[in-house]
Chains A and B, each alone.
Chain A
Amino acid sequence: MKQVTAEFHYNRTFKFSANRVASCLVLALLFVALGMAQAPATNTASATDSTATQTQAVAPAAAIPPDIAKKLDDLDKATKNAQMAGDNSWMLTSSALVLMMTGPGLALFYGGLVRKKNVLGTMMHSFILMATVSILWAAVGYSLCFAEGSPFIGDLRYVFLKGVGAEPNADYAGTIPQQTWMIYQLMFAIITPALISGAFAERMKFSAMLLFMTLWSFIVYFPMAHMVWGKGGFLQGTLGGVIPAWDFAGGTVVHITSGVSALVCALYLGKRNGYPHESMRPHSVVLSVIGACLLWVGWFGFNAGSALNAGPLATSAFIVTHFATAAAVLGWMFAEWMVVGKPSVLGAISGAVAGLVAITPASGFVKPMPAILIGLAAGVVCYLMVSKVKQMFGYDDALDAFGVHGIGGTLGAILTGVFATKEVNDLRMGKPMGMVDGDAGQIVNQLIAVAISWVLAIVGTLVILKICDVVFGVRVNSQDEIQGLDLAMHGEEGYHFES
């Protein structure tokens, strides 16, 4: 009893003195001890002891009138604040990391892969979405994705960010302000359409591209994000979905929708002038290497951030992301080495992106060794896709948005059903999460989610392209295409060595 009082004294000095750091540590320790006591796997003797002390301490304290009760209450608040500070700092960092994936990550990655007359136009595709989607998101996008509505689309309760403030939205992330959750999700809505731009690179009209991306956000992304992640969504894993599918960070929502839409765009727009007879060599693999490295780093925000807190699940997602990517680099490189005779740098960095894509849906559900398998499979399969299958069919997916994101995303989504385990993420309270836990049925759910994403992406994108074609014409005329999009669309050139 005495001890407890002493501690509360200490707590008061915390509130009214400058000695905050030490007090925070004490609170954090208390909190960790509580957490450990509750976690069944780490039930050590000391943790149990501390729970016992707590229970004893709390029972008499409740009997003691108001000031002690108030102090307990204060302690509770301080603990919550401490947790929110920790989680929020990681989530804001993650938000910034995911934005960094689009610009400069994707802008450099794609920018280096095109011919130099199109470098600015290609970078602009990514960059302008950082602005366009942000405004759509603030106006209605967030609400359509994350307000509870029908199973297929959210309602309008959060339009113009009404009611989105410092208070957490417990349905999604109970320990960070809803504003943090909102801005984090925005970064995903930005990069997803930017990925598609790899398919129509070097030949799409800028005005049509803007309209396309706006409509695509409404018709494909917002509904898909709501279905998979939104409360009451059709495929939601934990909040009452009809067919719960696991998609930790966006295999279906981000990579399948964008990758499959990319294929539709490539087919609809047709090949670039001169493809495949004229040289369309990447003008600077150097830029692409820098971009790919930024993507790799930014992806930690994408996947580990999807834990929505700074706890052990974030760590788990972080490391499986890293290992899968490493395996995919080697998978692609060795496959190419065997087929072509040389291990190309472009191959190695493309492998990294393929691995990052494939581990995305699985990142919160699998252990490191299965992650390495997923990465390895993605590296080899995506290599064969872009180097063999694409040429077999002859479509011009200029920068391989479909081959890497569509195929890698599909592979990852299915393998998530195989390797998801309750040892990593026990969403079903002890029941099996995936095939390795003894429930192959999850693979069926994953396949249904994959099929829905494919169908929505194909149908939605076709309709949108048709609309854009009628309004603006989707493709630049061949004169502009020969001149290059930088001059024809933007009146600029990427490189002036003479000036």
Chain B
Amino acid sequence: MKKIEAIIQPQKLESVKAALLAIGVDGMTVSEVRGHGRQKGHKEVYRGMEYNVDLLPKLKIEIVIPTARQEEVMRTPMAAAKTGGIGDGKIFLSDVLDAIRIRNDDRGEAAP
């Protein structure tokens, strides 16, 4: 089992979700996060006080999938979230030791 964590631009969520659904991935967890990579932040000014806001709003999509599908699934958000500009985000792949479906105690690759 593998976990894919995709950090994407917030406005790309719908395209990524649709692309994942199209290849049959229907489980995911989405959270609002802040962060930055090479993309630098921006300046905000409130009554003359300047603030450098370098952590920018992003969305994180987490998907756990059978190892066999990892390449296919990783490519999907890569394609769907791309604008070609700085700040498009990143995708991380990692191993998952186990998974449990709370409702019926399914384990392993049957669970996600």
Binds A, one of B16-24, B45-53, B66-74, B88-96: B45-53
Question: B44 an interface residue at 8 Å Cβ cutoff?
Answer: yes
Q: Would B51 and A340 count as touching, CB distance under 8 A?
A: no
In the assembled complex, the Cα of A388 lies from the Cα of B51 at a distance in Å of 15
Q: Which residues of A contact B45 (CB under 8 A)?
A: 340, 342, 344
Q: Distance in Å from the Cβ of B112 to the closest Cβ of chain A?
A: 25
Query: What per-residue 1/0 map shows which CB atoms of B29-45 lie under 8 Å from chain A?
Result: 00000000000000011
Question: A276 an interface residue at 8 Å Cβ cutoff?
Answer: yes
In the assembled complex, the Cα of A202 lies from the Cα of B79 at a distance in Å of 47
In the assembled complex, the Cα of A400 lies from the Cα of B47 at a distance in Å of 9
Q: How large is the interface on A (under 10, 10 to 19, 20 to 34, 35 or more residues)?
A: 10 to 19
Question: Which of B48, B49, B51 lies at the interface centre, i.e. has the most chain A CB atoms within 10 A of its CB?
Answer: B48
In the assembled complex, the Cα of A388 lies from the Cα of B47 at a distance in Å of 9
Question: A390 an interface residue at 8 Å Cβ cutoff?
Answer: yes
B52 closest partner in A (C-beta)? A279
Question: A409 an interface residue at 8 Å Cβ cutoff?
Answer: no
Q: Which residues of A contact B49 (CB under 8 A)?
A: 276, 280, 387, 391
Question: A28 an interface residue at 8 Å Cβ cutoff?
Answer: no
Q: Would A282 and B46 count as touching, CB distance under 8 A?
A: yes
Question: A350 an interface residue at 8 Å Cβ cutoff?
Answer: yes
Question: A386 an interface residue at 8 Å Cβ cutoff?
Answer: yes
Question: A293 an interface residue at 8 Å Cβ cutoff?
Answer: no
Question: A408 an interface residue at 8 Å Cβ cutoff?
Answer: no
Q: Would B47 and A347 count as touching, CB distance under 8 A?
A: yes
A399 closest partner in B (C-beta)? B47
Query: What per-residue 1/0 map shows which CB atoms of A369-396 lie under 8 Å from chain B?
Result: 0000000000000000011101100000
Query: What per-residue 1/0 map shows which CB atoms of B61-99 lie under 8 Å from chain A?
Result: 000000000000000000000000000000000000000
Question: A346 an interface residue at 8 Å Cβ cutoff?
Answer: yes
Question: A15 an interface residue at 8 Å Cβ cutoff?
Answer: no
Q: Which residues of B contact A346 (CB under 8 A)?
A: 46-47
In the assembled complex, the Cα of A324 lies from the Cα of B45 at a distance in Å of 25
In the assembled complex, the Cα of A347 lies from the Cα of B47 at a distance in Å of 6
Query: What per-residue 1/0 map shows which CB atoms of A426-465 lie under 8 Å from chain B?
Result: 0000000000000000000000000000000000000000
Q: Distance in Å from the Cβ of B16 to the closest Cβ of chain A?
A: 23
Q: Would A390 and B48 count as touching, CB distance under 8 A?
A: yes
Q: Which residues of B contact A350 (CB under 8 A)?
A: 47
Q: Which residues of A contact B46 (CB under 8 A)?
A: 281-282, 344, 346
Q: Distance in Å from the Cβ of A28 to the closest Cβ of chain B?
A: 49
Q: Would A386 and B47 count as touching, CB distance under 8 A?
A: yes
In the assembled complex, the Cα of A391 lies from the Cα of B48 at a distance in Å of 8
Q: Would A279 and B48 count as touching, CB distance under 8 A?
A: no
In the assembled complex, the Cα of A460 lies from the Cα of B45 at a distance in Å of 35
In the assembled complex, the Cα of A390 lies from the Cα of B47 at a distance in Å of 10
In the assembled complex, the Cα of A340 lies from the Cα of B47 at a distance in Å of 10
Q: Which residues of B contact A344 (CB under 8 A)?
A: 45-46
Query: What per-residue 1/0 map shows which CB atoms of A342-371 lie under 8 Å from chain B?
Result: 101011001000000000000000000000
Q: Distance in Å from the Cβ of A348 to the closest Cβ of chain B?
A: 12
Q: Which residues of B contact A387 (CB under 8 A)?
A: 47-49
Question: Which of B44, B45, B51 lies at the interface centre, i.e. has the most chain A CB atoms within 10 A of its CB?
Answer: B45
In the assembled complex, the Cα of A387 lies from the Cα of B100 at a distance in Å of 56
Partner of B44, one of A276, A281, A386: A281
Q: Which residues of B contact A342 (CB under 8 A)?
A: 45
Q: Would B48 and A386 count as touching, CB distance under 8 A?
A: yes
In the assembled complex, the Cα of A350 lies from the Cα of B47 at a distance in Å of 9
In the assembled complex, the Cα of A279 lies from the Cα of B48 at a distance in Å of 13
Query: What per-residue 1/0 map shows which CB atoms of A276-315 lie under 8 Å from chain B?
Result: 1001111000000000000000000000000000000000
A350 closest partner in B (C-beta)? B47
In the assembled complex, the Cα of A342 lies from the Cα of B50 at a distance in Å of 12
Q: Distance in Å from the Cβ of B63 to the closest Cβ of chain A?
A: 24
B47 closest partner in A (C-beta)? A386
In the assembled complex, the Cα of A276 lies from the Cα of B49 at a distance in Å of 8
Question: Which of B45, B46, B51 lies at the interface centre, i.e. has the most chain A CB atoms within 10 A of its CB?
Answer: B46
In the assembled complex, the Cα of A90 lies from the Cα of B98 at a distance in Å of 73
Task: Give the top 8 A-B pairs by smallest Cβ distance, nearest first.
Answer: A387-B48, A386-B47, A340-B45, A279-B51, A281-B51, A387-B47, A346-B46, A282-B46
Task: Supply 10 A–B pairs (Cβ within 8 Å), ascending by A.
Answer: A279-B51, A280-B49, A281-B46, A344-B46, A346-B46, A347-B47, A350-B47, A386-B47, A386-B48, A400-B47
Binding site for B on A (CB under 8 A): 276, 279-282, 340, 342, 344, 346-347, 350, 386-388, 390-391, 400
- Extra inter-chain contacts (12) besides given A281-B44, A347-B47, CB under 8 Å: A276-B49, A279-B51, A281-B51, A282-B46, A340-B48, A344-B46, A346-B46, A346-B47, A386-B48, A387-B47, A387-B49, A391-B49
